[in-house]
């Protein structure tokens, strides 16, 4: 299959590598020279385009499958809207107008669209309740994807980690605020998208590993594995009272939930890193070598 990955970044590059290894022809779309160089280094066909500039999408070739994995660069809701809503609509319109439109679109969303569930379980059937401007943008983008004039899938990623994104210091140095962590290793995030493409999975798919974990429990496990003292703990009330939180940090504290991967497992996906215990092993080994 011919696959176009729009916004071929952290997950998109790994997805491209996996799809190429499986015999697919992959085009990685980025808007910067550095991004295009990374695409080429991954063995993919680099094409320059920007989803917020619809005229540039004419340079992107036709595809059987399109994956929208663009990032807003961690900026605010307005930037997110330009990329995830307007940019996604630009991509849908551009590919839908072609003589050979794609068979499937996959849009990569976030479990942030669920909002707060006070530690209860959520799955694909749980109603969305986004609590910030940015997560409301993400929920709106899901509507754009699912209303596309070709088959579409929304993949909701839990917290991504993996090479260059382990962030050990956050949990080793503390203080660590109570709540749950829902995680998925980059390789499995990409692997689950590849699985959704190859298995023609429709609708919504929650991509998270087998074990949502208490932040306090995770921090203690990580400290023990790294051979350092366990970090200081704080309750939500204590952390919120500090008053020095970014919007993203505040949202993480106030939106506690446990995400279920039952549908993904039932469909037959097999995780490379089923839990953080396997996924963090490389980072722990590197940490212990360096101290």
pLDDT score of 181: 96
Q: What is the DSSP string of 220-278?
A: HHHHHHHTSPPPPEE-HHHHHHT----HHHHHHHH---EE--HHHHHHT---SS-SHHH
Second-level CATH architecture of 2-162+183-209+259-272: 3-Layer(aba) Sandwich (3.40)
pLDDT at 103 over 90: yes
Q: What are phi and psi of 145, to 5 degrees?
A: -65, -45
8 Å CB contact between 38 and 13: yes
What number is the average pLDDT over the span 16-33? 98
pLDDT category, 178, cuts 50, 70, 90?
Answer: very high
What is residue 186's three-state secondary structure? helix
Tell me what the pLDDT averaged over the chain comes to: 95
pLDDT score of 76: 84
Higher pLDDT, 40 or 246: 40
pLDDT at 269 over 90: yes
pLDDT score of 242: 77
What number is the average pLDDT over the span 229-249? 82
pLDDT category, 290, cuts 50, 70, 90?
Answer: confident
Least confident segment among 10-14, 168-172, 236-240, 257-261: 236-240
What number is the average pLDDT over the span 139-151? 98
pLDDT score of 204: 98
pLDDT category, 71, cuts 50, 70, 90?
Answer: confident
pLDDT at 36 over 70: yes
pLDDT score of 28: 98
What number is the average pLDDT over the span 244-249? 70
pLDDT at 74 over 70: no
What number is the average pLDDT over the span 199-219? 97
pLDDT at 81 over 80: yes
pLDDT category, 59, cuts 50, 70, 90?
Answer: very high
pLDDT score of 286: 96
pLDDT at 247 over 80: no
Who's near 121: CB < 8 A, 6+ residues apart? 257, 258, 259, 260
DSSP 282: H
8 Å CB contact between 138 and 185: no
| CA gap 154, 54 in Å, rounded | 22
């Amino acid at each position: 299959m011919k696959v176009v990955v729009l916004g071929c970044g952290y997950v998109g590059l790994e997805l491209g590598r996996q799809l190429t290894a499986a015999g697919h022809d992959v085009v990685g779309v980025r808007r910067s020279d550095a991004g295009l160089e990374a695409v080429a280094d991954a063995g993919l066909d680099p094409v320059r385009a920007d989803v917020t500039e619809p005229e540039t999408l004419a340079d992107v070739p036709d595809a059987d499958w399109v994956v929208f994995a663009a990032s807003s660069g961690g900026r605010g809701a307005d930037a997110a809207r330009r990329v995830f809503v307007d940019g996604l609509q630009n991509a849908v319109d551009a590919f839908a107008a072609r003589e050979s439109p794609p068979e499937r679109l996959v849009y990569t969303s976030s479990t942030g669209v669920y909002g707060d569930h006070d530690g209860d379980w959520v799955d694909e059937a749980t109603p969305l309740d986004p609590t910030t401007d940015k997560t409301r943008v993400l929920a709106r983008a899901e509507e754009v994807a699912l209303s596309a004039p070709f088959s579409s899938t929304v993949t909701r990623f839990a917290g991504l980690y993996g090479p260059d994104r382990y962030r050990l210091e956050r949990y080793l140095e503390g203080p660590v605020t109570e709540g749950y962590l829902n995680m998925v290793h980059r390789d499995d995030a990409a692997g689950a998208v590849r699985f959704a493409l190859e298995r023609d999975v429709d609708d919504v798919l929650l991509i998270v590993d087998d074990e949502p974990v208490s932040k306090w429990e995770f921090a203690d496990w990580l400290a023990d594995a790294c051979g350092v003292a366990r970090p200081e703990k704080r309750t939500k009330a204590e952390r919120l009272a500090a008053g020095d939180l970014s919007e993203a940090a505040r949202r993480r504290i106030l939106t506690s939930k446990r995400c279920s991967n039952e549908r993904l497992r039932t469909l037959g996906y097999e995780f490379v890193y089923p839990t953080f215990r396997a996924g963090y092993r490389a980072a722990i080994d590197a940490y212990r070598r360096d101290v």
